[in-house]
Amino acid sequence: MPRALPSLIAAFVLAVSLSAKVHAFRSAEKAPDTNGGPDIAAFLSERGFSVAHAAPNTAPEWVTGTMGSCKVRIADVSPQGWYRSIISEERAKQRVAYSFEGTLYEDQPVLRTRLADYRARLLNYLSMMATPALVRAILVNPDCSTQQFRLEDASSLSL
C-alpha cells in the first residue's frame, strides 16, 4: 500500500467530519426556542389571572398568575431533571405537577424527558428539525379553587 493512501483516507474522514459538524451547528441555530413562556402568560391571562414574570437570569424562570388569593406558578424546566430539587423545596403545601407531552405527572418522569431530549438533539444533529422536549412545572397554592384553576387544563402547555 502506498504511503500516501492512509494520509488521504485520514484527510477525507477529517473533511467529512468537519462538514457534518458545521452542517449540524447551522441547523441547531434554527431550532425553535421554547423558553421564556409567552404561551404560559397567555394561558394564565385567558383564565383571568394577572401575570408577572420572574426576574431575568433566575432558574427556573417562573411565570406567576394571581387571582385574589389564588397563585399559580408555571416554568419551563430542564428535561434532564436539574430543577427537581429546587421545585421540591418550593412545593411546601402546594399542588405540584409536571406537564410533558400533554400528560400531567406528580413527579418529573426524568427517564422519559431525557430520552425525548436526546431524541430531539439527535434528529436536529441529523438536520431533521425536531421540536425540543418541553417540560413544564406547575405549582398551585391551596387557596385556588377548581373554578379558578383546573390543573388538568395545564397539560396542554407541553404540546
With residue 29 as reference, give the H or E element that holds it. helix 4-29
- Break the chain into its structural domains and give their ranges: 1-30, 33-158
Q: Is the pLDDT of residue 27 over 90?
A: no
**pLDDT (0 to 100) of residue 25:** 57
Of 23 and 116, the one with more pLDDT: 116
Residues 6 or more apart from 48 whose CB is under 8 A from it? 67, 148
Long-range contacts, stretch 67-71, CB < 8 angstroms, 24+ apart:
67/144, 67/148, 67/149, 68/143, 68/148, 69/141, 69/143, 70/140, 70/141, 70/143, 70/144, 70/145, 70/148, 70/149, 71/140, 71/141, 71/143, 71/144
Closest CA to 102 of 153, 42, 159: 159
Task: Report helix angle 4-29 to 110-125, nearest 10.
Answer: 120
Confidence of residue 26 (pLDDT cuts 50, 70, 90): low
Confidence of residue 114 (pLDDT cuts 50, 70, 90): very high
Average pLDDT value for the chain: 87
Confidence of residue 34 (pLDDT cuts 50, 70, 90): very low
Interatomic CA distance for residues 105 and 29, integer angstroms: 31
Interatomic CA distance for residues 74 and 42, integer angstroms: 12
Closest CA to 46 of 138, 154, 144, 158: 154
Q: C-alpha grid cell for residue 119?
A: 431524541
What proportion of the chain, given as a percentage, has pLDDT over 70?
89
**pLDDT (0 to 100) of residue 1:** 58
Number of other CB atoms surrounding residue 157 within 10 Å = 20
